[in-house]
C-alpha cells in the first residue's frame, strides 16, 4: 500500500493538492515561523482518511487546546478530504467529510465516508473495509494497532522502536501485533494462548473471591469440625430416652426431620450460590461507568493527549466498555434466576414438610418428653445448614481448580506448538534484520540492532530488540524508532505484503541531523516512502536543490495548511 495523493477541497475548490512520491516526502515551513502552521495537521489529515475520528485536526493532542476557527471550518461540512493510494495493484480513493449535526437533545459530529464511491454510513464499517485493504481482516490484532505501527504521530511514544502504543498496552498485545506483521504461522495459536490466559485469570479471580482471603484447607478443616459435631449430636440423639413413644410414629418423625434437614441444607447451599452470584454481578456492575460529563470528560481529554489516535468518542468508548460487563452481569443474572426458582420450590417443600412435622408432633403423646429430642434435631439441622454453605465453597473451588488445571494443560500444549513454529518464523525475521542491522550499523557505528523472537521463562512468545539499551543519547531513540519503521516498510515490500509500504513520521526535531541525513538518504536510495513533518531549521544538511526535490509541502504564516 503506497500513498499517491492527498487533496483538500473547500466546497468544490481544491485548496490543497499534495502528490506523494517514492522515497522521502518532506513537509516543512518557509520563513522564520515554524510552528502552528499545519505540518502535523497534514499528517493527521492522512490519518483521518485512514480511519481516525479527525478530532486531532483541531484539537492539540498534547495540551488539549482547541483551534475554534479550524474546528468551525471542518465541522461546517464544506471541507472534503480525499486520499488516493494503491494497494495490491488496485487504486483506492477515500473521501471523508466532517459535519456537526444538531439532534433532538445534543450536537454530534457526523462522519461521511466513501471508498471508491461506495458510501459507508458507519465509522466502524468504514474502518473494517480499510482494514481489509491493509490485510487486517481479524478482530485481533485490531486495525488501529496495526495502522499506528506505520503512522508515527504520537509524541509520547515517538521514541519507542518496539513499544509504539500506549503505556497500558500489554506485552501479549505487542507479541500478537508483531507476529501478525511478520507473518507468524502460529498467529491463531497465539490468539488462543492469550484467550486461555485470560480465562485462567478470570477463574483465579473468582476462586480468590470465593475463598475470601482464606485457604481451601481452612474450609476443609471447618467442614470436618462440623461433621464431627453432627456425629456427636446424632449419637446423643440415639441415646436419648424416648420410652413410651410408639416406634412407627417416632420413625415417621425421624424421617420427617431428616427430610427437613436435607431441604434446609439444600436451601442453604442454593442461597450461598445465589449470594456469590450476586457478588459477581455486583463486581461486573461496579465496572460500569456512569456518564458524568463534567467529571469524565477531563479524564478522556487527558487520555486523548496520551493516545491521539483514539477513534471512538467518549460516549462510544464507555458504552462499549459498559456493554461487555453488562452482558456478563446479565448472563450471571440468568443463572441466578434459575437458582431462584429452584430455591422457591425447595422453600415450598420445606414449608410443607414443617407443617407435616407439626401435625405429626401433635399426634404424639407427651410433647414435653420430646422437647429435648426436638432441640437436638434442630441443632443437627443448623449444623447441616452450615455444612451446606461450606460444602458449596469447597466444591466450587475444587471445580475452579480443575478448570484451571485443564486450561493450564491446554496452555502448555499451545506453547509447545508455538515454539515448534519459531524456526520458520525466524527466517522471516532474518529478512527484516538484514536491512535493520545494516541501517542501524550505519547510524550508530559502534553497534547494530536486531529484532529477536523467542520464548521467555514462562514459555510465551516474546520479542526484543538486541542492543536497544545502547540506543541512548540526544535524539538517538527517535532515529532508532524511525529506522525500525523504515525497515518494516522494506520488509513489506520484499514480502509483497498488503500492509503499508509507507511510514509517516512526526516529532523529528530531537534527532541528530547527521543521523537524519542518513535515514533520508536511505529512504530515497531504497524507495522507502517516508512522509516526514520537520522544521526547516533541521534541514540545514540538505542543499537547496535536494530539499526542493524532496519537499511536497511548504507552509508559512501566510499559507497555513487549511489557508485560514
Going from N- to C-terminal start, the domains of the chain cover 2-185+421-555, 246-364
Dist CA 533 CA 544 (whole Å): 17
Cβ-based neighbours of 84, under 8 Å, separated by 6 or more: 3, 4, 5, 6, 7, 91, 92, 93, 94
Whether 99 contacts 105, CB under 8 Å: no
How many other C-beta atoms lie within 10 A of the C-beta of residue 448?
18
SS3 string, 304-350, reads HHHCCCCCCCHHHHHHHHHHHHHHHHHHHHHHHHHHHHHHHHHHHHH
The pLDDT value given to residue 218 = 95
pTM for the full predicted model: 0.74
Q: Can you tell me the distance from the alpha carbon of 333 to that of 339, in angstroms, rounded to the nearest whole number?
A: 10
Q: Which of 40, 21, 20 minimizes the C-alpha distance to 508?
A: 40
User: Residue 302's pLDDT is what?
Assistant: 54
CA distance 234 to 250: 15
Give the H/E segment covering residue 74.
helix 68-74
Tens-digit pLDDT profile for residues 351-408: 877 777 676 666 554 445 555 666 676 677 778 878 888 888 899 899 999 999 999 9
**Would you list the DSSP string of 211-248?**
HTTS-HHHHHHHHHHHHHHHHHHHHHHHHS--TTS-HH
CB burial of residue 128 (10 Å; 0-12, 13-18, 19+): middle
Cβ–Cβ under 8 Å, residues 69 and 92: no
- Of 138, 348, 176, 366, nearest to 263 by C-alpha is 348
Angle separating helix axes 247-286 and 367-420, nearest 10 degrees:
40
CATH superfamily of 2-185+421-555: P-loop containing nucleotide triphosphate hydrolases (3.40.50.300)
Cell numbers of 141, please?
A: 490484532
Q: For the residues of 451-513, what is the DSSP string, one character each?
A: EEEEE-TTS-EEEEEETGGG--STTHHHHHHHHHHHHHHHHHHHHT-SS-SEEEE---TTS-H
Sign, CA dihedral 234-238-241-243, equals positive
What distance in Å separates the CA atoms of residue 288 and residue 453, rounded to the nearest whole number? Answer: 38
Which are the contacts of 69, defined by CB distance < 8 A and separation ≥ 6? 564
Specify the pairing of strand 24-29 against strand 13-19: unpaired
Judged by DSSP in three states, 446 sits in coil
What residues form DSSP beta bridges with 554?
Answer: 28
Low-confidence ranges of the chain (pLDDT < 70): 237, 240-253, 283-329, 332, 357, 359-375, 377-378
- Which residues, other chains included, contact 346 with Cβ-Cβ below 8 Å and sequence gap of 6+? 263, 266, 267, 270
User: Around Cβ 115, how many Cβ atoms within 10 Å?
Assistant: 16
Residue 169 is placed in which grid cell?
498496552
380: helix, strand or coil: helix
Amino acid at each position: 500500500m503506497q500513498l499517491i495523493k492527498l487533496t483538500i477541497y473547500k466546497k468544490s475548490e481544491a485548496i490543497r493538492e499534495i502528490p506523494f512520491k517514492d522515497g522521502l516526502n518532506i513537509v516543512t515551513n518557509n520563513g522564520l515561523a515554524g510552528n502552528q502552521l499545519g505540518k502535523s495537521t497534514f499528517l493527521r489529515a492522512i490519518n483521518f482518511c485512514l480511519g481516525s475520528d479527525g478530532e486531532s485536526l483541531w484539537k492539540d493532542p498534547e495540551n488539549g487546546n482547541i483551534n475554534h476557527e479550524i474546528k468551525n471550518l471542518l465541522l461546517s461540512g464544506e471541507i472534503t478530504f480525499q486520499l488516493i493510494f494503491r494497494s495490491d495493484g488496485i487504486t483506492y480513493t477515500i473521501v471523508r467529510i466532517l459535519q456537526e449535526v444538531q439532534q433532538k437533545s445534543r450536537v454530534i459530529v457526523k462522519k461521511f465516508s466513501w471508498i471508491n464511491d461506495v458510501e459507508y454510513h458507519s465509522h466502524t464499517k468504514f474502518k473494517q473495509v480499510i482494514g481489509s485493504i491493509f490485510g487486517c481482516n481479524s478482530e485481533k490484532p485490531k486495525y488501529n494497532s496495526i495502522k499506528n505501527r506505520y503512522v508515527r504521530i504520537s509524541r509520547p511514544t515517538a521514541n519507542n522502536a518496539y513499544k509504539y502504543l500506549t503505556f497500558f498496552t500489554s506485552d501479549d498485545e505487542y507479541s500478537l501485533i508483531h507476529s501478525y506483521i511478520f507473518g507468524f504461522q502460529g498467529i491463531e495459536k497465539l490468539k488462543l494462548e492469550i484467550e486461555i490466559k485470560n480465562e485462567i485469570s478470570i477463574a483465579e479471580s473468582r476462586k480468590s473471591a470465593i475463598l475470601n482471603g482464606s485457604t481451601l484447607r481452612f474450609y476443609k478443616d471447618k467442614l470436618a469440625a462440623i461433621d464431627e459435631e453432627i456425629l456427636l449430636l446424632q449419637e446423643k440423639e440415639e441415646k436419648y430416652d424416648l420410652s413410651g413413644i410408639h416406634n412407627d410414629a417416632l420413625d415417621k418423625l425421624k424421617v420427617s426431620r431428616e427430610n427437613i434437614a436435607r431441604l434446609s441444607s439444600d436451601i442453604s447451599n442454593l442461597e450461598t450460590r445465589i449470594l456469590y452470584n450476586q457478588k459477581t454481578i455486583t463486581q461486573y456492575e461496579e465496572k460500569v461507568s456512569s456518564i458524568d460529563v463534567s467529571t469524565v470528560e477531563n479524564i478522556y481529554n487527558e487520555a486523548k493527549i496520551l493516545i491521539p489516535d483514539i477513534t471512538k468518542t467518549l460516549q462510544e468508548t464507555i458504552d462499549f466498555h459498559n456493554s461487555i460487563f453488562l452482558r456478563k452481569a446479565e448472563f450471571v443474572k440468568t443463572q441466578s434466576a434459575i437458582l431462584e426458582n429452584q430455591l422457591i420450590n425447595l422453600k415450598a417443600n420445606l414449608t410443607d414438610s414443617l407443617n407435616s412435622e407439626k401435625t405429626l408432633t401433635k399426634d404424639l403423646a407427651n410433647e414435653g418428653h420430646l422437647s429435648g429430642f426436638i432441640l437436638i434435631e434442630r441443632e443437627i439441622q443448623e449444623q447441616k445448614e452450615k455444612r451446606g454453605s461450606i460444602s458449596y465453597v469447597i466444591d466450587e473451588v475444587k471445580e475452579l481448580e480443575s478448570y484451571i488445571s485443564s486450561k493450564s494443560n491446554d496452555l502448555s500444549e499451545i506453547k509447545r506448538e508455538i515454539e515448534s513454529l519459531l524456526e520458520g518464523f525466524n527466517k522471516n525475521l532474518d529478512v527484516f534484520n538484514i536491512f535493520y542491522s545494516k541501517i542501524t550499523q550505519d547510524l550508530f557505528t559502534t553497534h547494530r540492532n536486531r529484532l529477536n523472537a523467542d520464548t521467555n521463562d514462562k514459555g510465551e512468545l516474546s520479542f526484543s530488540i538486541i542492543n536497544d539499551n545502547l540506543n541512548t543519547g540526544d535524539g538517538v531513540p527517535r532515529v532508532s524508532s524511525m529506522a525500525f519503521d523504515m525497515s518494516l516498510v522494506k520488509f513489506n515490500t520484499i514480502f509483497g505484503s498488503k500492509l503499508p509500504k509507507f511510514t509517516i513520521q512526526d516529532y523529528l526535531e530531537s534527532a541528530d541531523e547527521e543521523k537524519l541525513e542518513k535515514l533520508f538518504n536511505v529512504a530515497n536510495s531504497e524507495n522507502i516512502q517516508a512522509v516526514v513533518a520537520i522544521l526547516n531549521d533541521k534541514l540545514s544538511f540538505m542543499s537547496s536543490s535536494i530539499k526542493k526535490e524532496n519537499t511536497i509541502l511548504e507552509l508559512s504564516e501566510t499559507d497555513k495548511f487549511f489557508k485560514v
